[in-house]
Amino acid sequence: MPRPLDGDRPTLTAPPLTTDTHMHFFLPGYDGQPGGPPLPEMASIEDYAVVRRRLGIERVIAVQPNAYQADNSCLLHCLRQLGDIARGVAVVTPDTAEDELLSLHDAGVRGARIMNLPGGGIGLDRMREVESLVRPLGWHLIVQFDGRNILDYLPLLRGLQGRFIVDHIGKFLEPVPTDAPSFLELKRLLDSDRCYLKLAGCYETSKAGAPKFDDVGRLATDLIAHAPERMIWGSNWPHIGVSADRYPDDAQLLDVLGDWTGNDPALLHRILVDTPAELYGF
């Protein structure tokens, strides 16, 4: 089934300079790498331009897909094609050479991806080494793990010296209640001036499902109320690994952000424009 790109516009009118802080490109000619999942259907700059127009997105953060592991060549190509509207999040290993880091930085990369789930390029066990390489460049880390295990990871996360983003609303693979110890610890992390949270991928973990994703939505609403200045939003396009019957409607994914924020214009501007600009140097 071809991936749907267009459709009805969202009810939420995105403010000018809205930033999608999490999406992926897959282009012909770039091979998947050992250790990663299989390459999915291609997802091009032209495809994503349709989604951008539909949602009113003007700026984009392209995140290195797991399928490419630490081969960032496709990401670099896309950043150079997109120019000033784009920044990137790469996979960096402790062995990444300084000249490669500088090339990534010059192309617009401003973050390094840590993925502590199957198929991820670099896990939490090597996170501190990666941070020591990228922090002098002003980059931050984007960290994804099963939020139910956050208590095991707290020493590592609290030991980070620079800014980091907890990915995918904490990625609780089974949504937890808002008084769960793991969720309360996530909120405590957000009390640090170094920790941010990405409102993305709600459909991946929700058991309630579309259109409202109420179980994950409860967590998102609580987190937004707790630390509104530390929230960013991402589409997670092209929604890799989702079956056709569960493929999310991109307009709905923007509209649920409106639900979670009470459609407060100032709060939406903070999440969609101001905080991404601060983190990514727009």
- Give just the sign of the alpha carbon dihedral 244, 117, 172, 144: negative
Asked whether 141 and 111 are in contact (CB, 8 A), the reply is yes
Query: With 0-12 CB in 10 A as exposed, 13-18 as middle and 19+ as buried, what is 151?
Result: exposed
Cis peptide before 4 (omega within 30 of 0): no
DSSP 153-172: HHHHHHT--S-EEE-GGG--
Q: What is the pLDDT of residues 109-132, one digit of tens each?
A: 999 999 999 999 999 999 999 999
Block residue for tokens 């150079």: 80
Write down the pLDDT at residue 1.
Answer: 56
Give the separation between CA 26 and CA 41, rounded to whole angstroms: 8
Write down the pLDDT at residue 241.
Answer: 85
Write down the pLDDT at residue 198.
Answer: 98
Query: With 0-12 CB in 10 A as exposed, 13-18 as middle and 19+ as buried, what is 27?
Result: middle
Q: What is the pLDDT of residues 82-99, one digit of tens each?
A: 999 999 999 999 999 999
- Tell me if residue 195 falls in helix, strand or coil: strand
Q: What percent of the chain has pLDDT over 90?
A: 95
Asked whether 258 and 14 are in contact (CB, 8 A), the reply is no
pTM score, two decimals? 0.97
- Tell me if residue 7 falls in helix, strand or coil: coil
Write down the pLDDT at residue 243.
Answer: 86
Q: What is the pLDDT of residues 222-263, one digit of tens each?
A: 999 999 999 999 999 999 988 888 899 999 999 999 999 999
DSSP 218-246: HHHHHHHHH-GGGEEE---BT-TT--GGG
H-state helical runs in 108-213: 127-134, 150-158, 181-190, 202-205
Please give the CATH number for the structural domain made up of 19-280.
3.20.20.140
Average pLDDT rounded to a whole number, residues 184-198: 96
pLDDT at residue 2 is higher than 80: no
pLDDT-based confidence at residue 3 (cuts at 50, 70, 90): confident
Those residues whose C-beta lies under 8 Å from the C-beta of residue 206, and which sit 6 or more positions away, are 175, 213, 214, 215, 216, 217
- Tell me if residue 141 falls in helix, strand or coil: strand
Average pLDDT rounded to a whole number, residues 27-31: 97
Which residues in 239-275 are b (16+ Cβ under 10 Å) and which e? Answer: bbebeeeeebebbbbbbbbbbbbeeeeebbbbbbbbb
List the catalytic residues: 236
